[in-house]
Amino acid sequence: MELLSHCHIALTASRKVEEMQELIRKQGGTSEVRSMQGTVTEDEAIIKEMILSSLHTHHDWFVFTTGIGLQTFLTHAEQLGVKEAFIDKLRQARIAVRGYKAIAALKKEQIPYEVASEDGTTKGLLHKLDFIDFNDQKVIVQLYGIASPEMEAFFERKGAILTTWLPYHHYAPDGSVVDHLLNELMVKKVYHAICFTSALQVKALFKYAKKHGREEDLKSCFETDVIATAVGKVTAEALTESGVIRVVFPEKERMGAMIIHLGKYMEQYR
């Protein structure tokens, strides 16, 4: 049975969209690509400045939230000729980490970590860190392309002296594309589901909707007409934080698994 028969789905990714569209077709559905990913660029100058500054400053904690972010710092430290000194600095501090990719990067360099969020979510990591005294502790938090108000509020509440590392710049998607998707969701109501493959896509959509006074209507849309679908727990967490109550996502974080899981979910309500 074709699980997505008569279903029209919006894809907000910019990568592997052809593969996802083919999977949807095989399940009897149709789709449109409405990329909310935007552009993420690496800031080499600021990365190198952060690395060199850390070598001459005491820090009690490093918090790594993405594997690609940590690997970026290690790569640039090697290019600067200070990789071993940088790793030694990390080993002297206490480390918290989110996600299996960041954990793998630490293990590869034999850098011990003290706290880890096995499910890869910010909420899971902060729950574990809540039992630790951060008062007057100097903490560096590595983020990806955008700030994390939840993370910053947590460490402020805990009395930490916080420094955030943002090695990438995120440029939002074209406003006309976002506006077009919002109209399709709210006015034309052409989609049965929308699939997100990163937290950046979720935040870009909701940031634009909020700026233009359409945030509550967007939330309402997800409560009634459209199924919010995430590739995994981290993306699902971004949807929940944005106020979406019904979020569908597979246990295994894979694009194919997301499409199949969505189909099985929709089949229950036919």
Helix (H) or strand (E) holding 42: strand 39-42
Helix (H) or strand (E) holding 45: helix 44-55
Q: Which CATH class is domain 8-38+173-267?
A: alpha beta
Q: Which residues pair with 21 in a beta bridge?
A: none
Residue 88 pLDDT more than 70? yes
Return the closest-CA partner of residue 191 out of 228, 220, 216: 228
pLDDT given for residue 1 in this prediction: 60
DSSP state of 188: I
**Residue 109 pLDDT class (50, 70, 90 cuts):** very high
147 or 17, higher pLDDT: 17
- pTM here is 0.84
Domain ranges in the chain with CATH number 3.40.50.10090: 8-38+173-267, 41-170
- Once rounded to an integer, what is the mean pLDDT over residues 138-151? 89
Q: What is the CATH number of domain 41-170?
A: 3.40.50.10090
Q: List, for residues 37-72, the tens digit of each pLDDT value.
A: 998 888 899 999 999 999 999 999 999 999 999 999
Q: List, for residues 21-34, the tens digit of each pLDDT value.
A: 999 999 999 999 99
Sign of CA dihedral 46, 120, 238, 267: positive
